[in-house]
A and B are shown apart, each in its own frame.
Chain A
Amino acid sequence: WRVGIAVIAKENYPLYIRSVASQSELKFHYTVHTSLDVVEEKISAVGKSLGDQRELYLGLLYPTEDYKVYGYVTNSKVKFVIVVDSSNTSLRDNEIRSMFRKLHNSFTDVMCNPFHNPGDPIQSKAFDGIVSGMMVQTG
């Protein structure tokens, strides 16, 4: 894939997973899942020192040969993960940050929908649209 976006519930199960190119979708799932190790570690490390005041953006989670994994955690411990190809060097940290912010805003809208049950997989055209936009932009 060239880019993938995932939203993970507080309990670490997937709420939304989407990647460009479907043949390696499984690998994308694994990548997101393994990145939760680092996310969990970062959350617990921050929780110990600073209490509730923490930066939502976790930055680059870990480096690999093929791709870069970025993480973001909302205050309700919902995680966003963006995976981009390592060869994509044009993306700056700031752009990743703003992607996460956009994603968070859209996610908040989904949560505000009275017909959405928090904890259920996200099924929202608006959210899909935002994610698709990002995929096109970065991909």
Chain B
Amino acid sequence: MATSQWDLPPELCCRPMAFVALTGLDVTYNAVHRAIWDAFCANRRADRVPISFKVLLGDHEYPKCRTKRTSYEWYIPKGILKTGWMNKHLNLVPALVVLFYELDWDHPQWKEKQSECATKVEIVRTSLQGRNTKVAVVLIQKKTPLPPGEDLVASERASTLCNACDLSGKSLFVLPHTDHLVGYIIRLENAFYEHAHTYYYTEIRRVKSHKEFLNKTTHQLLFVRHQFKMAFFSELKQDTQNALKYYRTSYSLVHELRTHETNILEIKTLAGFINYKICRLCFQHNTPLDAIAQFRKHIDLCKKKIGSAELAFEHAAWMSKQFQSFGELFDEAIKLGLTAIQTQNPGFYYQQAASYSQERKQQAQQLCQAAVNYPAPNPLDNLIGGLDFYGQRPWRQGHQSIDPPDTEKEKSGIVALQIKERNVPHSELIIALLSNAVAQFKKYKCPRMKSHLMVQMGEEYYHAKDFAKALKLLDYVMCDYRTERWFALLTSILTVALRCAWLMGSVRDYTLYCMELLGRASTLNDEQKSRIEKNFMKVLENEVPDAEPECDPSSVNAATALWNDCTAVTGTKELHLEVQDYVPFIQCKGRFISPSFHVDQLILIQVFLRSDGPHPVSVSKLSVSLSNQDYNQWCVEESTAHHNITLFPGKPKIFDFNFVAKIEDVGKKIEMTSIELMLGGANRRLLVVSWRGAGGDVASAHEALQASRSSRRWGRSLETDWDCLSLQNSTMIISRVPKISLQLSHQPPALTNEMYCINITVQSHEEGVAKDVRLTAGLKPGQDANLSQTTYTTLDGSRVCDHSAPPLLPDVHLGDLHPGEQLQTSVYVKCVSTGSRVFLFHVAYTMDTLVEGRPLVCKCHKDETITIETVVPFEVSMKFVSTKFEALDQLPVDIPFLLITDILSSSSWPLLLTSSSLQLLHLTTSAPQLDPQLNSQIHRVVLQKGECATECFCLRCPPLTSNTSSTSPVATGHYLISWRRQSSCSDSPQITTSFTLPAFVMEPVPVYINADVPSFGRVRESLPVCYYIENRTALAQEVEMAVEPSEAFMFSGLKQVRLRILPGSKQQMLYNYYPLMAGYQTLPQLNVVLPRCPSSSSSHALRRFLPQRIFIKPQGQPADDVSIAA
């Protein structure tokens, strides 16, 4: 965009820096000079002093200094600020001129060189005549200088050179051209900076000194100017605090000036400049609130200073620029670290700038129409070099009185400005500002403000006749207003969008916007709606719709041509519109009547259509697409010659569709994928309006919610209840309801390991034959994994099944089942572990049925589950005891002992124990030669719950072989019980449950003493007792035996004896006891001692197999004997 009159001059917007001119450098041909210059220019970062350097020729002509005024008495200023002034001090008048000169202290022609240098200094001085600009000399030397004071020649020659050039010692510098160039340069420029400082300081003093000569009546302009200049010099001096102070004074002075029509532009221009400087410095000082306050004050002061009514657009343009520059300053400050907030960000300033630009455009349109001929001579074409003063009129520069000098010229000037204004690309300016604002509001979380500005942008593009861009923007924001239900705003946007679409000849967009403008979200009145509907119908008839009102007449012809082109093509023109994301005037809602259908039921779909347009609409076709496309053929309704589908305004119409599901779709979901409505027809335009899923649009969800909240539950009809209609876009196809019954009979709980019988009865209530009945029975899948490994299912109940039987029996064929008949079967389950299990019984079959006259093969099934607890049938305890029924902790070798087993029934059903057996290991029966097999003592015993059966076996450990270890326990075998339920039939299998006998340590007995004692004695009758002592060791054993006297017995035999028994032999000792008392009596104690090995066997240990007591009967009568014998 070209710079306009309203742009701030660049010299105002830049950061002023001290200006230092470098002369005597030949940067083109001299490499050393080039290096020096580069060192000055390169890497000017923030840590370097702010100086702007320029290389000038030694004889450069600086701007001439006008002769200083000695008195202001007769002086009348012609303007506030000259246009060239800022640039002059930034770029033309240096604060310091530095002369570079190559000269070493020991140069052979020192004298000549010195005078040449002096001449060059003199040339510079001459061209700076009248200015306070400082001059300095830098000697470029090849040698490194000695430390100060050591080189006497140098200091002497330096002082002569200073004298020759009329320089102070502080203005002469030496630049050795050695390695450390950059370091020297930085020291040099710091020195230059100080000189520049002094220069600007004196300049400020100089300007300040004028003040006393001024008077307040004629020199008001100079007060402003001088303050401005002081502020600007302070900025050059980098004294921003004072600069701000001077600018503020200047700003208040500018508003003290008397304003009239001829100088108002100049005052506003200067006020704008100074305001810009103040705001800029405030942001720089990190006081943004001061900047904002200053700007508000500025706007409030200037808002009403419109000036000439014929040039009102100028004021708007100026205002717009004020806001824009402030926005840019604000934005700049944010980039440097300032934080802005939602309600105070640059966006507002850009927005306001745009708003003033819009005002400018309107005023320009109003004011600039009348001007016809551009005046000649051109009043704007002033002298070469532009204006002398900022903000003045070219045709009357320097004029400061209230009335214009020449009214004719004034008029032609205004006309020229008006005509010039006509060529300004207003829309372009507005759009640029709006887009700046949009970027800001996006950043500061103002989505609605952003949308609003985008609408304005769109409208501006429309005015600029860039319809495509306009439409793009409008279409983008429309959906925000639609979803937030701001329908008045939506309608307004749609109206503009419709115009754009018409002017572009975009059939698709035009039709879509028509449909929405006719709909319920539109706030247009009926008259407008009728007009739009008429146009909509024309599109369907493939005719050119009428132009929208308010369309720019110049564009109408071009648009009509576009429409003619697109209607000229013959044949059917299809146009697809998906309207779900809009609020179209035809509403559509579809639903399956039920969320699920049985496969033998007719699937029903209802589609409701309603038109919100002002007039009836005819529909040529309605179709529903489903996820399984095979059904689509059943869901079509077409208009025919006899049957015309017409939608009347506000009257819902229902369409019913039905079809039969396919058997493959059982268990699947059928979804509506889309509903399509066709308007128009062949050889015209065919408009296909489609909704995804089951229809509805952007507004319908909210309406449904409101309807559901509504308390008006009476007097409902489809019309009033339209909003309540809920969509049902999918349905499940489920299998046919089985008409069979499944009965299970069994006797819980199940017992561990038994073949648990479950009787299944399948009864048919079907009207036809149930074919191919299959049963799946067993453990329900999905339970604990351990259960499937401990459960076995079989159909064969005649024998106990093994581990190969599966937990679940699949697909047992049961044949066909005729109506009313029943099938029976039994399943046997063996559970190896206790616990509860869920069993599944699944009966499936097929049926031939008719649905609406169409044959259908249905698969039906019925499931039944039961939970069965498995418990232990009985508990068995086993113990080994000695022949004296004393508990054994070790099994004595080769001595008989007893095994006692207790079987305690815990089953609630009576148990039949058929037999038991022992499988012995390392043990034998007590007399293996006589009776190798033990007989079971529980043959066919029935146990009720809590009853106990006990068995007793006499066993013996065979003599140990040498390799058997005697210290570790030895397995002794198994105890097996065969049993079944008493209730089960006799041919049902026996279950054998095995119990492991406890393991025992074998104990060898070296000396075995036992006795042969009768089972009872009688008082005063002889009782013969025979003791046997057996030596089982490999050594001869000496045995001492003694019988202790007893109160209850007299006895005869050896009272005390000492024997020697050879290995493997046995000694018999016979005693004759004579009982004295009746009852249980302790036998006389036999003390046995093995003197050879007293430690290994105590007397007590040796005695343990001996009976201790005996029952003595009293002396009986002979009759008693008889009775006993009887």
Chain A interfacial positions (CB closer than 8 Å to B): 11-14, 17, 25-26, 29-30, 33-34, 36-38, 41, 61-65, 114-115, 117-120
Contacts and interface: CB of A to CB of B under 8 A. Distances in A.
B812 interface: no
A26 B481 CA distance: 13
Contacts of A13: 484-486, 702
Given A26-B489, A29-B488, A64-B348, A36 B448 contact: yes
B849 interface: no
Interface string B695-713: 0000000100110011110
Given A33-B486, A37-B447, 9 more contacts: A11-B484, A33-B448, A33-B484, A34-B452, A38-B342, A41-B445, A63-B343, A117-B709, A117-B711
A17 B487 CA distance: 12
23 contacts: A11-B702, A12-B484, A13-B484, A14-B486, A26-B488, A26-B492, A29-B486, A29-B489, A33-B484, A33-B489, A34-B446, A34-B448, A36-B448, A37-B447, A37-B449, A38-B446, A62-B348, A65-B299, A65-B352, A65-B355, A117-B712, A119-B706, A120-B706
Given A26-B492, A33-B489, A38-B343, A117 B706 contact: yes
A119 B709 contact: yes
B705 A119 contact: yes
Contacts of B706: 117, 119-120
A35 to B, nearest CB: 8
Contacts of A61: 343
Centre residue among B448, B492, B706 by max chain A CB count within 10 A: B448
Given A65-B352, A65-B355, A115-B711, A33 B452 contact: yes
B343 A62 contact: yes
B1103 to A, nearest CB: 92
Contacts of A33: 448, 452, 481, 484, 486, 489
Contacts of A65: 299, 352, 355
A125 to B, nearest CB: 19
Contact of B449 (A17, A34, A114): A34
A120 B710 CA distance: 9
Interface in B703-742: 705-706, 709-712
Interface of B: 299, 342-343, 348, 352, 355, 445-449, 452, 455, 481, 484-486, 488-489, 492, 702, 705-706, 709-712
Nearest to B342: A41
Nearest to B449: A34
A23 to B, nearest CB: 13
A24 B343 CA distance: 24
A87 to B, nearest CB: 11
A78 B712 CA distance: 23
B340 to A, nearest CB: 13
B814 to A, nearest CB: 61
Contacts, number: 66
B358 to A, nearest CB: 12
Nearest to B352: A65
A3 to B, nearest CB: 18
Contacts of B299: 65
B352 A117 contact: no
Contacts of B705: 119
A30 B709 contact: no
Contact of B711 (A25, A29, A114): A114
Contacts of A117: 706, 709-712
Contacts of A62: 343, 348
Contact of B448 (A37, A64, A118): A37
A40 to B, nearest CB: 8
B724 to A, nearest CB: 12
Contacts of B352: 64-65
A120 B348 CA distance: 34
Contacts of A118: 709
Contacts of B485: 11, 13-14
B342 A37 contact: yes
A30 B711 contact: no
A120 B485 CA distance: 12
A85 B355 CA distance: 17
A114 B711 CA distance: 8
Contacts of A17: 488
A34 B485 CA distance: 14
Contacts of A36: 448
A114 B712 CA distance: 10
B342 A30 contact: no
B258 to A, nearest CB: 26
A41 B711 CA distance: 34
Contacts of B492: 26
B709 A37 contact: no
B354 to A, nearest CB: 12
A37 B444 CA distance: 10
A30 B452 contact: yes
A21 B706 CA distance: 31
Which 6 interchain pairs have the tightest Cβ spacing? A13-B485, A37-B446, A62-B343, A34-B449, A117-B710, A34-B448
Contacts of A115: 711-712
Contacts of B343: 38, 61-63
A73 to B, nearest CB: 16
A136 to B, nearest CB: 24
A80 to B, nearest CB: 17
A42 B262 CA distance: 48
A50 to B, nearest CB: 19
A14 B449 CA distance: 16
Nearest to A62: B343
Contacts of B709: 117-119
A121 B445 CA distance: 28
Contacts of A41: 342, 445
Contacts of A63: 343
A63 B300 CA distance: 14
Contacts of A12: 484
Nearest to B489: A29
B323 to A, nearest CB: 9
Contacts of B489: 26, 29-30, 33
A13 B455 CA distance: 18
A64 B455 CA distance: 19
A72 B492 CA distance: 27
A61 B342 CA distance: 10
Contacts of B486: 13-14, 29, 33
A117 B724 CA distance: 14
Nearest to A60: B343
A114 B452 CA distance: 37
A132 B481 CA distance: 28
Contacts of B342: 37-38, 41
Nearest to B491: A26
A6 to B, nearest CB: 11
Nearest to A14: B486
A30 to B, nearest CB: 5
B445 A37 contact: yes
Contacts of A26: 488-489, 492
A122 to B, nearest CB: 13
A38 B449 CA distance: 10
Of A25, A37, A115, the most chain B CB neighbours within 10 A belong to: A37
B472 to A, nearest CB: 20
A21 B484 CA distance: 25
A38 B342 CA distance: 7
Contacts of B702: 11, 13
A118 B488 CA distance: 21
Contacts of B452: 30, 33-34
A110 to B, nearest CB: 14
A61 B343 CA distance: 8
A26 B888 CA distance: 109
A35 B594 CA distance: 46
Contacts of B446: 34, 37-38
A132 to B, nearest CB: 20
A36 B452 CA distance: 12
A45 to B, nearest CB: 10
